[in-house]
Structure 1
Amino acid sequence: MQKCSRYKRIFMTISIILLLSAYSTGCSRPPSRNIDNIDYSETVNLIYYTIGEPDKDLKLVNDKINEITARKIGVTITYIKVGWQEYEDRLNTLISAGTPFDIAFASNYATTTMRGAWLKLDDYLTSLGKDLYNTVDPIFWQGVQMNDGGIYGVPTNKELAVRDHWMYPASIVKKYNIDISKYNTLESLEPLLQMIQQKEPAYIPMELDRDSHNFFALYGYEYIVNNKVPLMVKSLDADAKVVNIFETKEARQILDTLRRYYKEGFINKDAALREPGGLKRGDKVFWKSSGGGPISETTWSKDRGYKVVSNPVTPNIVTTESVRGGIMAVNANTQHPIESIKFLNLLNTDPELRNLFNYGIEGVHYRLSENGQAIPIPGKDSEGNPIADAPASYAGVQYTQGNWFILRTMGGDNPEPLDKWEQFRKNNADAVKSTVLGFTPDLSNLAAQVENIEMIWKKYYPSLMTGTVDVDAILPKFNEELKQAGIEEVQRETQKQLDARRGSKK
C-alpha cells in the first residue's frame, strides 16, 4: 500500500509540473511588453511571401507589423511581396528548390498541396489556432478540404460566392438613364455597345484582357480542375457530367458573339495581349467585368478614378474556386510551425494587425473619419504637396491576407456603408453551395497531360475569348490540339473520381 501511495504522489507531482509547463508555454500569450523594450533576439522571425507589387513603404509597414507581433506573440516577419505576373513562377521555384520560408499566399492551392508543399493544419486548428478556426465561416473550411479530408491552408474570411459583376461609369448610366439590371447576357449588351460607340467615342465600349472572363458562369458552369484546363461542370446539377466547355453549344454562342463584337470595334484591339489589371486609372471604359461581393463598386470606383455602378450577372453560388481564392498556407518544411499558426491566428482575430496589413500605418497611409472609417492619405510630390492620383506608398492586397470582417470600412468621397460587413454576412447566408464544392481530382498520374493542356490553353484561349480570331478557323484547331494533349483522358479520370465521390456521399 505504501509503494502504491508513493507512486501515486509521484504521478500527481509530475502531472502538476506538466500542467504548469503547458500553461506557461502553450496555453497563454506572453505578457505584454513595452515596444521600446522589446528584445528582438528573443523573437522568432517568419519569412512570408505574398502577391502584389512591392510598395515604396513596405519596410516601414513591416517594421510596424513587427512591433505589434513581437509584443503580442513573440514573432516577427520578413514581409516579401512579389509582382502579379511573377508570383506563381516564383512560388513554384521556392517550393521546388526547397528554399526556406514559412508562410505564403497559395496561388494554386490544390496543385501545390498535392505536391506536398503545405503543412496539414487540422491538429493546430483544434488547439493553438482554435480562435482562427472559429472566426472563419465553416463553408470555407469545407471548401479547402482536400481528398484526404485534411486542411492545408487558411482561407480568407470574405464573400463566399464571388459573382461576376458588370460595371459601368455612373455618369454615363445617369446621362442615358440606363437600367443596368436588364443586361444579364452577352447578347443583350449589343445595343448598349452600339450607342456608346456612336455617342461616346472617347469610351472603349468593352474592355477585355488576355485572361478574359468566365462567361461560361452565365450558364451555371464552374471549372473542375483549374481555370487553365477547360473542363467544367454545372454547379447545381447533382448528376452533371464533366465537359470540355469548348465543345458545348454555349461556348460556341459566346465565342461567336465576342467575335462579332470585336469586328464591330466594341472590344479593345489589344485585348488578347493586355495583361490582367492593365487598365490604367482614369481610362474611359463603358463595360468591364470583375468578380466580387456586395458593395464592390466602392473599391472599383477608387481603382478606376471615377464612380462606377455594377450589376451581378452570375448566380450566388459558392464554388471551390471562390472559397480557394485567397489562401495563406504554411510551408510543410517550416522550422516554426507553432509560431506560424500563432501569426495566422493573430492576423485573423486582431483588428490592429489586420488593418495595418490592409491600409498601412494610421496617420501615414490613412486617417480616420469621425465615424471610424479609413480614408487614404494622398501621395506627395518631391516638395511634399499632395497628389490625388499618386500611387499609394503602401496598399495591402485585401483578399490574400485574412479575415475581412475585422477591417475598417472605407471613407472619403465615396464612402462604404457602415453596415458593409452585415451586408456581407447576409449575402453569405443566402449563397447556395455548389454540388461539387471541395472536390479536387487527383491527377498526379496525368501531370504531363495537364501541363500540355495548359500550354494549349495559353496558345488559343486569349485570342478566342476576346473575339480576336475567326472562330470557324481556330476553334477546331484548339479542340484538336487539346485532344492530342490528353484532355479526354483527363476528362475520363476526373469524371471517374467525381462519380466515386458522389457515390460515397449517397
Structure 2
Amino acid sequence: MQTHKRLISIILVCFLILLSACSSNKQSSTNESSGEGGNIPEVNMVFFTTTVPKDLNLVQDEINKITKKKINATVKLTPINIGNYVQQTNLMLSSNEKADLMLVTSFFGYTSQVAKGQLLPLDDLLDKYGQDIKKVMDPDYLNAAKVSGKMYAIPTLRDMAGASGINMRKDLVDKYHIDISKIKTLDDVESMLKTIKKNEPSITPIVPFQAGAQPTVVYNWFDPLGDTLGVLPNYDNNLKVVDLYETKDYAQFVEKMRKWHDEGLTLKNPTTNTEAGTNLVKSNVGFSYFSPQKPGIALQESQITTVPMVTTSLKEPVTTTSAVTTMMWGIPQGSKVPEAAMKFLNLMYQDKEIVNLLDWGIEGKHYVKVSDNVIKYPNGVDAKNDGYNLNMSFAMGDSFLSYVFEGNDPNLWTQTEEFNKSALKSKALGFNFDSSPVKTEVTAVTNVVSKYALGLESGMLDPKTKLPEFISSLKAAGIKKIIKEKQKQLNEWAKNQNK
C-alpha cells in the first residue's frame, strides 16, 4: 500500500522542479459565504495524490452528511496528481481560484508561499475554531509551522520524528545469521554488506533510497534548517550554523561511501539510477537501503517491496522543523470561507468517522473491521480494485484516529506516540528560514550542490579531489552569505523564543 515514506520520496524528487508563481496580496473577507447553488458554505479541500479514487464522490457524500450536521458546511475533495501539484496549486494561489483548505509542505515551498502572501495567518482562527487541534497537538509541533511569529499552516499528527537507519531483506539476513541488533554504526553496516557481497555476488549490497536523492537526506546527523544550505550539526544547543560540506563528519561520510563504491558494495553507476530502493529490492537487484525509521516501518517496506524486510536504526529519533512541516494544512488567502475551512480542519483532529472516511472510505464497501481498530479489505476487494485507495492517513489530520490496516501491529499508534515522545527535539525546532534576502545565492549554491553532492555521497566522485573543489565552488557561489543570513534569522528567532 502507498505509505508515508514512499510519498515523501516522491516529494523530495518533485521538489527539484519546484516552480515559482506570482502571488496576490488581496485580503479576503473572514465572513462566511455560500457554496455554489446553496446557502451552506462549501470548503474546497485540495491535496496531492498518486491516484484519484473512482469512489471519491461517494466518500465525499458520506463526509458531507456529517459536516452538514456538525459545522453546517460541505466539503469538496479535490485531489491533484502529485506530479502536477506544485504547478497547479501555484496557479490556484496566484489567481485566487477557489481553494479553501490546501495540503502544504516544506518540500513544496511553504515559506515561499507565506512570503508571497498566499496563505492566511491562522492564529485567530485556530483559537476560535481549532480547540480540538490544540488539545491533541504538542505546542512545539504547532509552533514549528510559524513564520515570523505567525502560524500559516497546521501540521498533521503522525510520526513527527525520524531515526536514520537501514532496511534489509529478511531472507538474506536469516540465511547468513546476521544479528541486526548489533548493527549500530556505518562500520557495522559495512561488515554486513561485505557478507552479502561475498555470498550473493549477483545482488548489490546497498542501493539508493530514492533515485536522484542524496543519501544524507535519509542518513543524517544534523538539522537541515530547511534546505541544508547551512545546518545545525548534532542539533546543537549553541545554535551555530555551519556549512555541512566543510565539516569533518561530511568528509568522513563521503570517504566511507567512496570506499563502499570502490569495493563494489553499491551500484556501479548510482547517479544514473532511475529506480527507488524498494523497486531494486523487489526486482532482486538490491539487498538494503538507507531509510528513516519509525514504528511499523518493517511491515510498510515489506508491503512495498513484496519481500519480507527487517530494519534497524543507526541514530536516535530526532524531531526537526522539517520533520514536522512535511505535511500541513493551510487556508489560501483567497478563500471566501476560512471559518468553515478551519471548522472542518478541526474535525480532522477530533472526529474519528471523518478521519476514517478520508483515510479508508466507506465501511463495508472499501474495508471491513477485524476488531475495534483493525480493518482489512472486504471479500473480493484488494489494493488493485479498491474503489477508494487514497492511502494517505498520514495527511488527514490526526493519524491516531485512523484504523490500523491488517498486518500492522494493532498498537501501531501507541508505539508511534511513544516514538514521538522519545525523540530528541532539535534546538532549532520551530525555526523556518526565509531565503528571499539571499535568493540569488541560493539559486547559485543549489546548482553547485546538484553538480557535486550526489556524486560524492554515492561514492562516484573521489572526495580527495572533488570535495575541495566542491567546497571552493560553494564559496564562490555565495554559501557564506547564505549562512550569515540564516544565522542572523536563527539568532533573532531564538531571542524571541525566550521572551
TM-score by length of 1: 0.81
2:441 paired with 1:437 = no
* Mapping for residues 337-416 of structure 1, pairs under 5 Å: 337-376=338-377, 394-411=389-406, 415-416=407-408
2:162 paired with 1:162 = yes
Measured after TM superposition, the shift of residue 53 of structure 1 is 0.9
Match of 1:247 in 2: 246
Question: Partner amino acid for 1:127?
Answer: K
Does the C-alpha gap of structure 1 residues 136 and 312 become closer, same or farther in structure 2, counting only changes over 3 Å? Answer: same
Distance 2:293 2:335 in 1: 33
Higher relative contact order (CA 8 A, sep 6+): 2
SS of equivalent to 1:333: coil
* Mapping for residues 457-496 of structure 1, pairs under 5 Å: 457-496=449-488
Does the C-alpha gap of structure 1 residues 175 and 139 become closer, same or farther in structure 2, counting only changes over 3 Å? Answer: same
Distance 2:218 2:260 in 1: 17
* Mapping for residues 315-354 of structure 1, pairs under 5 Å: 315-354=316-355
2:89 paired with 1:91 = yes
Match of 1:314 in 2: 315
Distance 1:55 1:241 in 2: 45
Question: Partner amino acid for 2:264?
Answer: G
Measured after TM superposition, the shift of residue 199 of structure 1 is 2.1
Does the C-alpha gap of structure 1 residues 85 and 275 become closer, same or farther in structure 2, counting only changes over 3 Å? Answer: farther
- Tell me the alpha carbon deviations over residues 303-327 of structure 1, each in whole angstroms, 9 at most, x when there is no partner: 2213222112222222111111111
Question: Partner amino acid for 1:494?
Answer: K
* Mapping for residues 264-283 of structure 1, pairs under 5 Å: 264-269=263-268, 271-274=270-273, 277=276, 279-280=278-279, 282-283=282-283
Does structure 1 retain, via aligned residues, the 8 Å contact 2:239–2:490? Answer: no
Distance 1:215 1:56 in 2: 31
Question: Partner amino acid for 1:404?
Answer: S
SS of equivalent to 1:94: helix
2:45 paired with 1:48 = yes
* Mapping for residues 281-296 of structure 1, pairs under 5 Å: 282-284=282-284, 285-296=286-297
Match of 2:198 in 1: 198
Distance 1:197 1:465 in 2: 20
Measured after TM superposition, the shift of residue 67 of structure 1 is 4.1
Unmatched runs of 5 consecutive residues or more in structure 1:
1-24, 27-38, 379-384
* Mapping for residues 30-45 of structure 1, pairs under 5 Å: 41-45=38-42
2:162 paired with 1:173 = no
2:136 paired with 1:123 = no
Match of 1:102 in 2: 100
Measured after TM superposition, the shift of residue 387 of structure 1 is 6.6
Please give the root-mean-square deviation of Cα atoms over the aligned residues, in Å. 2.9
Does the C-alpha gap of structure 1 residues 475 and 66 become closer, same or farther in structure 2, counting only changes over 3 Å? Answer: farther
Paired residue total: 457
Point out the structure with max Rg over C-alpha.
Answer: 1
Unmatched runs of 5 consecutive residues or more in structure 2:
1-30
SS of equivalent to 1:46: strand
Distance 1:416 1:169 in 2: 18
2:415 paired with 1:423 = yes
Does the C-alpha gap of structure 1 residues 450 and 377 become closer, same or farther in structure 2, counting only changes over 3 Å? Answer: farther
SS of equivalent to 1:349: coil
SS of equivalent to 1:468: coil
Match of 1:186 in 2: 186
Question: Partner amino acid for 2:418?
Answer: K
Distance 1:117 1:177 in 2: 55
Question: Partner amino acid for 1:253?
Answer: Q
Match of 2:438 in 1: 446
Percent of aligned pairs sharing the same letter: 26
Does structure 2 retain, via aligned residues, the 8 Å contact 1:211–1:276? Answer: no
SS of equivalent to 1:69: helix
SS of equivalent to 1:51: strand
Measured after TM superposition, the shift of residue 334 of structure 1 is 0.9
Name the stretch that deviates more: 78-87 or 341-350.
78-87
